[in-house]
């Protein structure tokens, strides 16, 4: 395998499904925890390549940034084959990751890192709605109107082959600048469970069990291209949606630093608000979940929240609450960035998880806000996802260090080369290798939190954390 393939990893996902993406990492991490296994190297870098990956930071930064671009291009599918891609194969891949045993509940819905830790705490599978199909093509990162035209030409074949999904084409010339030169981002959202998820639920969900829909209502302005196809400029991170469409001083400075010949992006005016492509929930799936539950005599609970990171303080509260019942000191916070998460080691070290969607200033602000309003932690440790570019709105290493300093005794990073962030390619392997030496506490893995206890605590804690738990169907409903 060439070194440029390190970020793409071993190809173990079906054709068309991104190997190096939030959703696939979250599924792998959740399934590893349910199997009682750790989650090294994002679950995809082959063990024989990990020593090589730990030496990548010795390369010049320009070489490392090219690794991101080439690694991403290696993930892409041929646009002429879009009509052959079947999203149902993606759902089959998801269900094949989990142990085949009975569960009192299953999570279905939005892509979310905090949901991985909820899955691990409850001991139940997590089935995502959203998948990324990266499609090969070469284009200037700032050529947004050209990418819209390209999408209009190539999306119809994919949509005809997959009538049960919506397509949220995304182009982020800021955070994903290195990737969008070589890839079109086709994020799909399932509007139905589909045969694979239905068969899985029928097989593993205990009689009268519960389907917990995870519904992030976060929206983004987009351009409606018709027939279940929208185009989203930008994404959740360091810039507000209006800055992508209207420009700002921060955008102008970023484009100047990149040597671009423009100071704002040339985009059509958005004409629709849609579920944000990576994190938002497409509500049509809820209708199909409720239909399935009525037919099979299962309960449905809806866990809804407005922002991707709203789930993180709530899950942290649940862990603190559960540790208290197990005589485990809940004085250690483990902040986990984007796909750099480790649910097995979180429980093994008696750590409280807090997930940040990315590495930007708003993400740092949200963590700081949480820390200022909760009982202090003695220790705070953090992974920090490195995406190979100093994007607009990126929080500096000093900013992250300042936020972590809220710890009463010890704080710092796990697997981060502070001098090289955000060009720290090695962190994708080192975060796991360094974790046992950084956080030395050890506890026996507890049994899962009972689902009725989760419901009780969700109703108690939810209003304070802007989390809403709704009952929409009960077992044995007519």
Residue 449 lies in a domain: no
Q: In this model, does residue 282 exceed pLDDT 50?
A: yes
Nearest to 350 by CA among 322, 372, 369: 322
Note the pLDDT of residue 51. Answer: 55
Of the three residues 275, 305, 335, the one that is the final residue of a domain is 305
Q: Are residues 245 and 182 in the same domain?
A: yes
The average pLDDT across 43-49 equals 56
Q: Are residues 360 and 409 in the same domain?
A: yes
**CA atoms within a 13 Å half-sphere pointing along the CA-CB vector of 213:** 30
Q: In this model, does residue 53 exceed pLDDT 60?
A: no
Residue 232 contacts residue 170 (beta carbons within 8 Å): yes
Count of domains forming the chain: 2
Structure tokens at 315: 């899950």
Q: Are residues 237 and 89 in the same domain?
A: yes
> What integer best gives the mean pLDDT of the chain?
92
| DSSP notation for 216-253 | E--EEEEEEEETTEEEEES-SSSS-HHHHHH--HHHHH
Q: Are residues 253 and 375 in the same domain?
A: no
Note the pLDDT of residue 297. Answer: 96
Note the pLDDT of residue 77. Answer: 96
Residue 163 lies in a domain: yes
Q: In this model, does residue 142 exceed pLDDT 50?
A: yes
Residue 184 lies in a domain: yes
Note the pLDDT of residue 397. Answer: 97
pLDDT band at 69 (very low <50, low <70, confident <90, very high): low
Of the three residues 258, 284, 305, the one that is the final residue of a domain is 305
Give every strand in the sheet of 332-337, ordered side by side.
352-356, 332-337, 379-382, 410-413
CA separation for the pair 176, 235 (Å, rounded): 9
Q: Are residues 110 and 256 in the same domain?
A: yes
Structure tokens at 202: 């029928």
CA separation for the pair 104, 122 (Å, rounded): 9
* Residue 95 Cα distances to 35, 123, 348, angstroms: 13, 15, 25
Q: CATH no. for residue 416?
A: 3.40.50
Q: Are residues 334 and 294 in the same domain?
A: no
Q: In this model, does residue 375 exceed pLDDT 50?
A: yes
Residue 5 contacts residue 71 (beta carbons within 8 Å): yes
Residue 379 contacts residue 333 (beta carbons within 8 Å): yes
The average pLDDT across 33-37 equals 98
Over the stretch 87-102, which tens digit does the pLDDT of each residue have? 999 999 999 999 999 9
pLDDT band at 64 (very low <50, low <70, confident <90, very high): low
Residue 478 lies in a domain: no
3-state secondary structure of 309: helix
Of the three residues 262, 287, 305, the one that is the final residue of a domain is 305
Residue 470 lies in a domain: no
Of 2-6, 121-125, 148-152, 322-326, the least confident: 2-6
Residue 462 lies in a domain: no
Bigger pLDDT: 132 vs 6: 132
Cα angle for residues 425, 429, 430 (degrees, 5° grid): 90
Q: Are residues 383 and 266 in the same domain?
A: no
Residue 466 lies in a domain: no
The average pLDDT across 10-19 equals 83
Residue 374 lies in a domain: yes
Bigger pLDDT: 136 vs 20: 136
Proportion of the chain above pLDDT 70, given as a percent: 91
Q: In this model, does residue 302 exceed pLDDT 90?
A: yes
Q: Are residues 177 and 289 in the same domain?
A: yes
Q: In this model, does residue 103 exceed pLDDT 60?
A: yes
Q: Are residues 293 and 326 in the same domain?
A: no
Bigger pLDDT: 397 vs 388: 397
Q: Are residues 255 and 362 in the same domain?
A: no
Q: Domain range for residue 181?
A: 3-305
CA separation for the pair 280, 308 (Å, rounded): 8
Q: Are residues 225 and 331 in the same domain?
A: no
Residue 341 contacts residue 354 (beta carbons within 8 Å): no
Helix (H) / strand (E) element for 105: namely strand 103-109
The reported pTM is 0.94
Q: Are residues 58 and 151 in the same domain?
A: yes
Note the pLDDT of residue 217. Answer: 98
């Amino acid at each position: 395998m060439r070194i440029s393939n390190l970020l793409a990893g071993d190809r173990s996902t079906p054709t068309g499904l991104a190997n190096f993406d939030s959703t696939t990492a979250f599924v792998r991490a959740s399934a590893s925890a349910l199997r009682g296994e750790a989650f090294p190297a994002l679950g995809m870098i082959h063990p024989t390549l990990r020593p090589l990956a730990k030496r990548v930071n010795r390369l010049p930064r320009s070489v490392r940034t090219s690794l991101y671009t080439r690694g991403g291009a290696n993930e892409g599918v041929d646009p002429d084959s879009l009509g052959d891609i079947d999203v149902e194969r993606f759902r089959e891949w998801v269900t094949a990751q989990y142990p085949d045993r009975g569960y009192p509940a299953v999570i279905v819905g939005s892509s979310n890192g905090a949901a991985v830790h909820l899955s691990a705490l409850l001991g139940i599978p997590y089935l995502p709605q959203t998948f990324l199909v990266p499609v090969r093509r070469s284009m200037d990162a700032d050529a947004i109107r050209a990418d819209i035209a390209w999408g209009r030409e190539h999306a119809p074949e994919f949509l005809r082959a997959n009538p049960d999904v919506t397509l949220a084409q995304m182009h982020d010339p800021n955070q994903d600048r290195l990737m969008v030169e070589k890839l079109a981002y086709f994020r799909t959202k399932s509007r139905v469970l589909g045969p694979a998820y239905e068969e899985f639920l029928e097989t593993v969900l205990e009689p009268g069990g519960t389907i917990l829909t995870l519904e992030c209502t976060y929206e983004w302005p987009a351009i409606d291209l018709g027939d279940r196809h929208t185009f989203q400029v930008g994404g959740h991170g360091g810039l507000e949606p209006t800055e992508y469409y209207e420009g700002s001083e921060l955008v102008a400075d970023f484009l100047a630093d990149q040597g671009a010949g423009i100071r704002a992006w040339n985009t059509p005016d958005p004409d629709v608000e849609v579920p944000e492509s990576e994190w938002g929930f497409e509500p049509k799936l809820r209708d199909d979940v409720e239909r399935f539950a009525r037919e099979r005599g299962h309960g449905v609970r809806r866990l809804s929240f407005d922002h991707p990171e709203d789930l993180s303080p709530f899950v942290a509260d649940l862990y603190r609450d559960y540790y208290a019942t197990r005589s485990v000191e809940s004085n250690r916070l483990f902040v986990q960035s984007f796909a750099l998460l480790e649910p097995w080691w979180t429980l093994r070290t008696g750590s409280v998880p807090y997930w940040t969607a990315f590495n930007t200033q708003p993400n740092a602000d949200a963590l700081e806000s949480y820390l200022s309003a909760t009982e202090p932690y003695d220790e705070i440790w953090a992974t920090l996802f490195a995406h190979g570019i100093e994007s607009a709105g990126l929080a500096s290493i000093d900013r992250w260090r300042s936020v972590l300093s809220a710890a009463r005794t010890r704080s710092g990073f796990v697997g981060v080369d502070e001098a090289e962030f955000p060009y720290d390619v090695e962190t994708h392997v080192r975060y796991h290798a360094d974790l046992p030496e950084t956080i030395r506490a050890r506890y026996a893995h507890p049994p899962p939190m009972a689902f009725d206890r989760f419901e009780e605590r969700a109703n108690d804690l939810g209003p304070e954390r802007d989390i809403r738990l709704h009952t929409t169907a009960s077992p044995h409903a007519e």
